[in-house]
Structure 1
Amino acid sequence: MEQSGKLVKVLLKNTNNPRLAWRIFKRVLSSPSNESHGISFSAAPTIARILVRAKMHEEIDELHSLMLSSPIENAKFSSFLSVVSIFAKSDYIDKAFTQFQFLRSRFPENLTGIYLYNVLLEGCIKERRVDFVSWLYKDMVLCRIAPQTYTFNLLIRALCDSSCVDAARKLFDEMPEKGCKPNEFTFGILVRGYCRVGLPDKGLELLNSMESFGVLPNKVVYNTIVSSFCREGRNDDSEKLVEKMRGEGFVPDIVTFNSRISALCKEGKVLDASRIFRDMELDEYLGLPRPNRITYNLMLKGFCKVGMLEEAKTIFESIKENDDSMQSYNIWLQGLVRHGKFIEAETVLKQMIDKGIWPSIYSYNILMDGLCKLGMLSDAKAIIGLMKRNGVSPDVVTYGCLLHGYCSVGKVDAAKSLLQEMMKNNCLPNAYTCNILLHSLWKLGRISEAEELLRKMNEKGYGLDTVTCNIIVDGLCGSGDLDKAIEIVKGMRVHGSAALGNLGNSYIGLVDDSLIENNCLPDLITYSTLLNALCKAGKFAEAKKLFAEMMGEKLQPDYVAYNIFIHHFCKQGKLSSAFRVLKDMEKKGCHKSLETYNSLILGLGIKNQIFEIHGLMDEMKEKGISPNICTYNTAIKYLCEGEKVEDATNLLDEMMQKNVSPNVFSFKYLIGAFCKVPDFDMAQEVFETAVSICGQKEGLYSLMFNELLAAGQLLKATELLEAVLDRGFELGNFHYKNLLESLCKKDEIEVASGILHKMIDKGYGFDPAALMPVIDGLGKMGNKKEANNFAEKMMEMASVGEVQNKVDPNARHLHQNNWQNILHRHHFNRDDGSGIALKSLTRVKKGWGQGDLSSFEPQRVDYLDYFEDDD
C-alpha cells in the first residue's frame, strides 16, 4: 500500500504533464513482478482522472484494454470500481459499462451496493443509452439489490426520455411494492414525460393524485402542464390550471407567464399575448411578475412573425433602452429580413456596430438566408465581402445558404465554384452542403459530376450519410433504374454508405470500411422513395415485399408510406386493395390525411362511384380536414364525367367561398361538360369566369375553341380564334386546320381566307397543309390570283420545314418590352375575380353573356402554359 501511495503522489505531481504521468504508470505496469502490477492498478483511478481531464482518447482506450486483460484480485477490486465510476461520469459510458460487465462476471458476490448502479444509470441517461438502462435494471433485480427512490427516478427519466411513458408509468406503480415512495421529483419527471409525448391530461391526472401519495404539488409541475397546454393551443385549459394554481396558494411566476405568451405567439394570437404582456408591465397594480428579457424577446418574435413590424419596433426600442442584447438584435433582424425590409435590416446592423455590439456570424447568416430565399443572389454574395471587411469569417452555414440559393435556380456551376471557394478559405463543407449540390447535379442529369463529388466527399471525410444515399436512390428511381436502387437499399442495411460502391466502377473509391456506420441505415424516406417508384411501375408484389422488409427492420410505416399504396391502387382502379391498406393503416394508429382523401376520391371517380365521393367530402369536413385545390379539381372532374354538372358547378362555387382559388383545371372540366350537354351559353359563362380569375390563359382558349369546333359551332369558333390571334397565343393546341377545312366545306371560303391572312399578318408560322383546302376553295370560286398567292406562301413555308405554330419573334408589330410582359401577367393574376365568378355562376345568360368575344381588346403577347394531365 505504501508503494501504491508513492505512485499516486508521483502521478498527481505530473497532473499538468499527463503524457509523462502516463509513461510513469506504464513503466511500473511493465515490471515483470506481480507486486508492480498490483501497485500500478491500485493507482488506476488516479491515472484515469488525469487522462480523462486531458482528453487523451488513445491512452484511455489503452488503459481500458489493459484493465480488461488484467487478472483482478480482491485487493484491486475497489480501484477497478472507481475507474468504472470515473468513466461513467466522464462521457465514456461504453467503456464504463464494458468494465462493469467484466467485473460483474468475475466477482458477482462483491457487487452488492446500489451506488455504482446509480452512477451508471446517470451516465446512460446522459448519453441516451436505453439499452444499457434496461440491462442494469434487470441485473439489479437478478442480484436482489434494492433500488432507492433515486434509482427509480433515474429509470423513469430514462424511459420518459425515450418516449416510453407507459413503461415509465408501470415502473412508477411498482415503486410501493419495492419499498420506495415517490417524491416530488418522481412526479415531476413523469408529468414532464407525459407532456413531451402530447398527453398533458395524463400529467394533470398525476398532479391531482400527488396528495394521495403524501406529496405536495409544486410550481414546477404546474408550469410543466401549463406549458404543454399552451403548446397544444389549449389556452382555456391553461387558464383554468393557472386559476387552480392560485387557489392552491401558488403565485404564477415568470415561467408560467412566459409559457403562455410563447404558446399564444406560436399560434399567431399575438394580440392576446400582448394583453398579458401589458398586464405584466403594470405589476404594481396587479401583482404579476415583471417581464424579463425572455418575455420581451418572445413578444418581439411574435410581432415579427405576423408582420406587425411597427409594434415589433416599439418593443425593440424598449429593449434597447434597458438591455441591449445580441439575441434581441438578431430577432429584429430576422423579422425585417423575413418581410423583405433589407434597407432597415442594414440600418440595424450599423446601429449594432455603433453601439459596440459587433454582429455575429448568426446575424450575417440571417441576412444571407433571407436574400437567398428571395433569389437576390448577387446581394447575398456581397454579404460575404461585407463580413470579411468587418472581420467575420463566413462559416459553413453562410456558404450553405448561398450554395442552396444557386442550386434552387439551376446555377450549379456557380454552386460548384462556391464549394471550391469554401475550401480555399479553409471552411470545410459538411455533408449537408455537399448533399445540396449532389442533389442538383443528379437532378440535372450531370451524373459524372455527381460521381466525382461523391468521391471527393469520401476522400475528404465529409461523411456520406443516409441523406446522401437517399439522393442517389431517388435519382435512380427517377431514371427508371429500380433494380440498382433496390440493390443499394439492401446494401445500406449491411454496409451503410459503402453500398454506393455497387453503382459501378466509378464509385469503387467510395467503398470504405470506415463508413459502415449506423448513421447510414435506410430510413422511412429511403423506403418511401423506393415504394413509390415500385408502385408507379406497377410492381405491387415487390413493393409489398419491401414494405414487409421495412417493418422487419423495426421501421414503423407512417401515413406517407401507407398513402403511397393507397394512391397507386386508387389510380389503377384497385379500390378494394386501397381500402384494405386503409383499414390496416387506421389499425396501426395512422389517421387519414388530406392526401389519403384525395387518393380515395380519385379512385372512386375512376370507378364512377359519384355518390361515395360526396360521402368522403362530407367526412373530411366532419373531421376538420379542409379540401385543397386537388380535392376539388378531382371531384369536379369526375362529377362532370358522371354528368353531374350542376353538382360540379356548386362545388366550384363552394371552393371560391372557402378561398380556395380555382385554377385552369377547375374550369377545364366544367367547360367540356357544358359543351357536351350541349349548353354553350353556360359554357361561355364559365369560360368568362375562368378568364376573369385565371387570366388570359392559352389553355382556356384552346379548350373552348376545340369544344366549339367539335360541336360544329364554326362562327363562334372563328370569333374565338380571331381573339386568340390578337393575343399572340401559340396555336399548337388549337385545331385551326380542322376549322379551315370545315369552313371550306361549308363554302365559307372568304372567312377561312380571312383567318389565314390574319395569321400571316400576325407573323405566325403554321402547318402549310392548312392552306390546301382554302387554295382549292379559292380555285373553285375562280379567285385564282389569291389562290396562287397562298400557293406560293405554302411552298415558302414548306421549304422551311419545321412547323412553329407560333408568332415569329422577328415580326415587327410584336416587339415589346420584357417589363411590359411581366406587368401584363401580374395584372391578370393579382385579382382572384371571385365576386365576378360567384355572380356569373348563379345565373344562366342567353347568347354570349357579357358581350361577344370580338369586343375583347387585343392584349399584349403572353406565352402561357399548355394543359397538362393532372391525374
Structure 2
Amino acid sequence: MSSSPSAANLLALLRRNAASPAVALRLFLHLSSAASPAPPRSTSFLARLLAAQPAAAADALLPRLLRHVLSFPDPSPHLLALLSCSNVLPLRLSLPAFRSLRALASAPPPPTPVYNRLILAALRESRLDLVEALYKDLLLAGAEPDVFTRNLLLQALCDAGRMELAQRVFDAMPARNEFSFGILARGYCRAGRSFDALKVLDRMPSINLVVCNTVVAGFCREGHVEEAERLVERMRAQGLSPNVVTFNARISALCKAGRVLDAYSIFKDMQEEWQQGLPRPDQVTFDVMLSGFCDAGFVDEARVLVDIMRCGGFLRRVESYNRWLAGLVRNGRIGEAQELLREMTHEGIQPNSYTYNIIVSGLCKEGKAFDVRRVEDFIRSGVMTPDVVTYTSLLHAYCSKGNITAAYRVLDEMAQKGCAPNLFTYNVLLQSLWRACRTTEAESLLERMSERGYRFDTASCNIIIDGLCRNSRLDVAMGIVDGMWQEGSAALSQLGNSFLSVVSDSSSRQRCLPDRITYSILVSALCKEGRFDEAKKKLLEMIVKDITPDSVIYDTFIHSYCKHGKTSLAVKVLRDMEKKGCNPNTRTYNLLIRGFEEKYKSDEIIKLMGEMKEKGISPNVMTYNSLIKCFCERGMVKKALPLLDEMLENEIVPNISSFDLLIKAFCKIADFPSAQIVFDAALRTCGQKEVLFCLMCTEVSTYGRWIEAKNILEAALEMRISIQSFPYKQIIAGLCEVGEADHAHSLLKLLIAKRYTFDPAAFMPVIDALSNKGKKQDADMLSEKMMEMADYNDDLTTDSGKTIPGSRKHDHAKNGQSDWRALLHRDDSARTIMKITKRVRTGWGQRGNVYEHKQLQSDDFYVLENTG
C-alpha cells in the first residue's frame, strides 16, 4: 500500500486546511516527494491559496513551494500548473517558475495561454521590456501567438510610445478584433496623433462606439474641435448615437483647453434639449464641468452649478465636494472652503484625507508664513487625522520659503505621531538642503535615512545631481553620472564617506541608473553655462545608452540658444529634432517664438506660426501672446488687436496676459476708448474679475484719468470685489489734486457703506481739500471717522497680531512706507489737520465713547461699518 495519499485525498486535505495556508503547505511538503510527487492539480490549488495571502506571507511561502516542485523527477507539469494561475501570482514569483520550465531540456514549450498570462502580468507591472522578451521567446519556442497575444504586444508598444512599430505589428496581424483597433487608436490619441487614430477607425469593418469616443476625445484634447464635430456627425449618419461618454469627452477636453464657456454651451444643451436625442448629464458631466469652472476662475458660475447639483442629487459624493473644495481653495476662498467642510459634515458626507489635504496644500501654496502657521493649527485642532501627504505638503511649504528649521520640526512631529515619512518626504527636504548649499545638513539627513532603512532611488540621485549643478559643481555631477552606470548610487561616494551608508546596498546598483531626467538636468546645466559642445556630447551619450531624447531635451537646447541670442542655431535644433523622429510640439515652437519676440522680429513669429499650422501643431494662447507683445512693444498695437478675434476664431481663449498687454499698450498711447473695449471683452471672456478690474483701474490711474478710475473702482465695489491691490488711495488723492474733492468724498462714503476696511491715510487728502473749501463740518466728520478706524485697526493688531483682509495698513508697514500717522505731520495744511484732530479727540473725551457720539450724526454713511 502506498504511503502517499491519492490525488483526490491530497486535494481534499488541502481544501480542509484552506483556512491555514501555512499548514496546507507543510502537508503538501510532507506528503509529496521525488518518489511520490503530488498531482499537478494540488500544486495549482495550493499556489492560488498562497497567492491570496498578504504580500509578506506569499513572498515567504511561494518560493518554498517552487523549490519543492523543482525536486520532482519531472517538474514540468507542476511548473505549468503554477503558471496556469499566473494571473493571480505576482510577476516576481511566476517569472522564476517560467524560467525554470524553459531551462528544462526535456520540457515541452509552454502553451500560448501561459505566455499570455505572463505578458498580461508584465503589462500590469509596466514591465514593457519583459513583454517584448516574452513575445520573442514565444516565437522561438514555436508557439503560435493568437489575437490576444498580439493585442497585448500592441498595447505594450503603444504604452511605450513606439507607435511606428505598433503600426507594423498591427498591419502584420493575420487576424484582428475590435480590441486591436481600439488599442492602436487609443495609442495614437495618447501620443497626440488623433488624425492617425482616425485612419485606424476608417479601417474598421464596422464603426465602434468605444473607438469613436476615444478619437473624439483625442481631437478635443488637441484642439481639433471641428474634426471632433465631424466625427460625431458621422456617427449619427451611420446610426450610432453619441452617448454621454462622447459628450463628457468633449466637455472635458474643452475645459482642459480653457474653453470653459464652449463646454458649458454643450452642457446646457444636454440639460435643455435631451428630448431632441441628446444624453442627459450624469455625475461625471457635472463633476467635469465643475472642475472646468473652478480651474478657469469662474467661481460665481461654479457656485450656481453647485446649487444645481445640490438640487438634482449630484452633490452626494465626497469626490464632488473635493472638486468644489479644491476650486475654492485655488481661487483664494479659504473661508468658503471651511464653510463647505461644515456642510459636508451636516449632509453626512465623511471627508477623507484628500479633503483635508486640499485645504492644507492650498493654504501652503499661498506662500504666506501666517497661512502655514494656520495650517499647523488646523492640523493640531483635531478636526482631521493628518497622513504622510498632509505632513509632506506642510514640509514642502516651509522648504519652498527656505524655512528649514520649521521643516525639521514637521519631520519630528511626524515621528511623534507615528506617521512614517516616505522617500518622497525625505526627497523634498533633501532637495531644499542641496539648493540652499547646506551640504553638511544634507549628509546628516542621509545618515538619518540610513538609520531608518531607506535606500536611494534614481529620483534621490537626481536631486543631488541637480543640487550640485545649481551650486556650481557641474563637473562633479557629471562624474557621478558617469559612475552610476557601473556603481549605481554608490557613485555618490565621490561626495564623501557619509554617503556610503545609504548607497552600500548592492541592489541599488540595479535600481539607480541614470534616466532621461538625469540627462535633462546635465544638459540644462551645461546649456545655462554656454557649454553647448559638451551638452551635445551628453545628447549623443544618451542615444548610445539607449535613452531616447524627448522633446524636453531638444527644447532645452532651443531655449538656451534663444537666451544667448543664437536664434539661428535654435532653428537648426528644431530641424534636427524633426530629422531624428522627435516631433516638435507647441511648447517647442513657443520657446523659439519667445526668442524672436525678445528681438522684436514679428515677421519671423508670423512665419513660425504659419509653419505650425502646416504641420498640424496648434498654437496656444502663449503663442499669440508672444506676437501680441511683439506688436505692442514696437508700437503697433493696432495690428495686435485683431489677434484677439483670430484667437477666438481658432477656438483659443485669451487669458489675463493677452488683455493685460493690450490694455497697457492702448493706455500708453492715450487711446483709452480702445482700452475700455478690450477691458469689456476681457470681462466677458475671463473669470478673474478682480484681477481685470485692478488692472484697468491701475492703468487709467497711472495716466491721471481719475474720474474713469473712480468709476471702475465703484463698479468693483458694487460687485463686492476685494480692493486690497487697488490704487484707491492714489485715486482719492488724484481726484483731490484736480479739484474733484466731492467725487473723492463720495468714493470714501461708498467704501464705508460697503463695509470695506481700508487704510485710514486715504482720508487725509479729502480732509485737506474739504478744509480748504471751507467745508469744516464734513472735514470734522471725516477726521472722526479716520481716527475711529485707525483705533479699531490698532486694537485688532494689538489684540491678535492680525490685520483685517482688505486693509492696506499692514502692507504699508511691510513695504517700508509711512503709515497714516506720518501723514498727520506732513507740511501741507499741517496746522489745519492737527487742529481738527485735536478737536475730535477732545470731543470724544467730553461726550463719552465713540459709539454715543456717532448716534448724534445725521449722515448714516458714517456709522461704524468698517468691520467687513
Identify the residue that residue 59 of structure 2 maps to in structure 1: 58
Q: Does 1:6 align with 2:9?
A: yes
> What is the deviation of 1:594?
3.5
CA distance in 2, matches of 1:63, 1:571: 61
The counterpart of 1:244, out of the listed 234, 244, 256, is 234
Q: Does 1:223 align with 2:223?
A: no
**Alignment deviations for residues 200-249 of structure 1 (CA, whole Å, 9 cap, x no partner):** 222222222222xxxx3222122121121222222222222111111111
**Alignment deviations for residues 346-387 of structure 1 (CA, whole Å, 9 cap, x no partner):** 111111111222322111111111111112444444445545
> What is the deviation of 1:569?
6.3
Identify the residue that residue 743 of structure 2 maps to in structure 1: none
The counterpart of 2:24, out of the listed 21, 26, 49, is 21
Identify the residue that residue 733 of structure 1 maps to in structure 2: none
Distance 1:825 1:493, change over 3 A: farther
Q: Does 1:282 align with 2:263?
A: no
> What is the deviation of 1:66?
0.8
Q: Does 1:619 align with 2:620?
A: no
Identify the residue that residue 82 of structure 2 maps to in structure 1: 83
CA distance in 2, matches of 1:245, 1:692: 51
CA distance in 2, matches of 1:627, 1:292: 34
What pairs up with 1:170-185 in 2 under 5 angstroms?
Answer: 170-176=168-174, 181-185=175-179
Q: Does 1:593 align with 2:581?
A: no
Q: Does 1:339 align with 2:331?
A: yes
> What is the deviation of 1:90?
1.7
CA distance in 2, matches of 1:193, 1:229: 13
SS, match of residue 126 in structure 2:
coil
CA distance in 1, matches of 2:507, 2:639: 55
Stretches of structure 2 that go unaligned for 5 or more consecutive residues are 613-618, 644-656, 666-697, 704-807, 820-868
Distance 1:600 1:292, change over 3 A: closer
Q: Does 1:202 align with 2:196?
A: yes
The amino acid of 1:354's aligned partner reads: H
Distance 1:635 1:232, change over 3 A: closer
Distance 1:653 1:457, change over 3 A: farther
Q: Does 1:465 align with 2:457?
A: yes
Identify the residue that residue 713 of structure 1 maps to in structure 2: none
Identify the residue that residue 44 of structure 1 maps to in structure 2: 43
- Is the 8 Å Cα contact of residues 500 and 510 (structure 1) preserved in structure 2? no
The amino acid of 2:589's aligned partner reads: S
Q: Does 1:189 align with 2:183?
A: yes
The counterpart of 1:147, out of the listed 135, 145, 148, is 145
**Alignment deviations for residues 810-851 of structure 1 (CA, whole Å, 9 cap, x no partner):** xxxxxx987436689999xxxxxxxxxxxxxxxxxxxxxxxx
> What is the deviation of 1:421?
0.7
The counterpart of 2:263, out of the listed 255, 273, 293, is 273
CA distance in 2, matches of 1:630, 1:822: 34
**Alignment deviations for residues 683-732 of structure 1 (CA, whole Å, 9 cap, x no partner):** xxxxxxxx989989xxxxxxxxxxxxxxxxxxxxxxxxxxxxxxxxxxxx
CA distance in 1, matches of 2:291, 2:533: 51
SS, match of residue 15 in structure 1:
coil
CA distance in 2, matches of 1:442, 1:226: 46
> What is the deviation of 1:104?
3.2
The amino acid of 2:225's aligned partner reads: N
Distance 1:377 1:398, change over 3 A: farther
CA distance in 2, matches of 1:125, 1:419: 37
- Is the 8 Å Cα contact of residues 500 and 507 (structure 1) preserved in structure 2? yes
Distance 1:582 1:198, change over 3 A: closer
The amino acid of 2:8's aligned partner reads: G
> What is the deviation of 1:390?
4.8
**Alignment deviations for residues 472-518 of structure 1 (CA, whole Å, 9 cap, x no partner):** 22222233323321221122233333322221123232222155155
SS, match of residue 11 in structure 2:
helix
The counterpart of 2:493, out of the listed 490, 498, 501, is 501
CA distance in 1, matches of 2:530, 2:176: 57
What pairs up with 1:348-367 in 2 under 5 angstroms?
Answer: 348-367=340-359
196-205 vs 111-120, which moves further: 111-120
Distance 1:101 1:472, change over 3 A: closer
Q: Does 1:552 align with 2:551?
A: no
CA distance in 2, matches of 1:123, 1:384: 43
Q: Does 1:529 align with 2:521?
A: yes
- Is the 8 Å Cα contact of residues 502 and 508 (structure 1) preserved in structure 2? no
Identify the residue that residue 301 of structure 1 maps to in structure 2: 291
The amino acid of 1:291's aligned partner reads: P
> What is the deviation of 1:105?
4.0
The amino acid of 2:297's aligned partner reads: G
CA distance in 2, matches of 1:274, 1:652: 32
CA distance in 1, matches of 2:268, 2:529: 60
- Is the 8 Å Cα contact of residues 290 and 323 (structure 2) preserved in structure 1? yes
**Alignment deviations for residues 282-328 of structure 1 (CA, whole Å, 9 cap, x no partner):** 35632322221111112221222222222222221222232421111
Kindly name which structure, 1 or 2, has the bigger radius of gyration based on alpha carbons.
1
> What is the deviation of 1:425?
0.8
- Is the 8 Å Cα contact of residues 364 and 375 (structure 2) preserved in structure 1? no
SS, match of residue 556 in structure 1:
coil
Distance 1:58 1:344, change over 3 A: closer
- Is the 8 Å Cα contact of residues 458 and 464 (structure 1) preserved in structure 2? no
CA distance in 1, matches of 2:200, 2:335: 53
> What is the deviation of 1:536?
4.9
CA distance in 2, matches of 1:268, 1:544: 37
Q: Does 1:121 align with 2:119?
A: yes
Identify the residue that residue 743 of structure 1 maps to in structure 2: none
> What is the deviation of 1:418?
1.0
CA distance in 1, matches of 2:181, 2:125: 23
**Alignment deviations for residues 616-637 of structure 1 (CA, whole Å, 9 cap, x no partner):** 444345345888999899999x
- Is the 8 Å Cα contact of residues 25 and 40 (structure 1) preserved in structure 2? no
The amino acid of 2:48's aligned partner reads: R
> What is the deviation of 1:585?
3.1
What pairs up with 1:503-652 in 2 under 5 angstroms?
Answer: 503-513=495-505, 516=508, 519-537=511-529, 539-562=531-554, 564-565=556-557, 581=573, 583-588=575-580, 589-591=582-584, 592-596=588-592, 616-622=604-610, 623=612, 624=619, 649-650=634-635
What pairs up with 1:714-863 in 2 under 5 angstroms?
Answer: 819-820=811-812
CA distance in 2, matches of 1:601, 1:312: 37
- Is the 8 Å Cα contact of residues 155 and 183 (structure 2) preserved in structure 1? yes
- Is the 8 Å Cα contact of residues 216 and 250 (structure 2) preserved in structure 1? yes
SS, match of residue 110 in structure 1:
coil
> What is the deviation of 1:575?
8.3
Q: Does 1:310 align with 2:300?
A: yes
Identify the residue that residue 257 of structure 1 maps to in structure 2: 247
> What is the deviation of 1:577?
6.7
The amino acid of 1:485's aligned partner reads: A
Q: Does 1:35 align with 2:23?
A: no
Distance 1:393 1:208, change over 3 A: same
CA distance in 2, matches of 1:289, 1:93: 43
SS, match of residue 423 in structure 1:
helix
Identify the residue that residue 842 of structure 1 maps to in structure 2: none
SS, match of residue 593 in structure 1:
helix
- Is the 8 Å Cα contact of residues 304 and 332 (structure 1) preserved in structure 2? yes
- Give the CA RMSD over aligned residues: 3.9
CA distance in 1, matches of 2:564, 2:262: 50
567-576 vs 416-425, which moves further: 567-576
- Is the 8 Å Cα contact of residues 40 and 77 (structure 2) preserved in structure 1? no
Aligned-pair identity in percent equals 38
CA distance in 2, matches of 1:456, 1:614: 55
> What is the deviation of 1:448?
0.9
Distance 1:240 1:545, change over 3 A: closer
CA distance in 2, matches of 1:188, 1:628: 33
The amino acid of 1:63's aligned partner reads: R
- Is the 8 Å Cα contact of residues 22 and 61 (structure 2) preserved in structure 1? no
> What is the deviation of 1:113?
3.9
- Is the 8 Å Cα contact of residues 161 and 191 (structure 2) preserved in structure 1? yes
Distance 1:550 1:40, change over 3 A: same
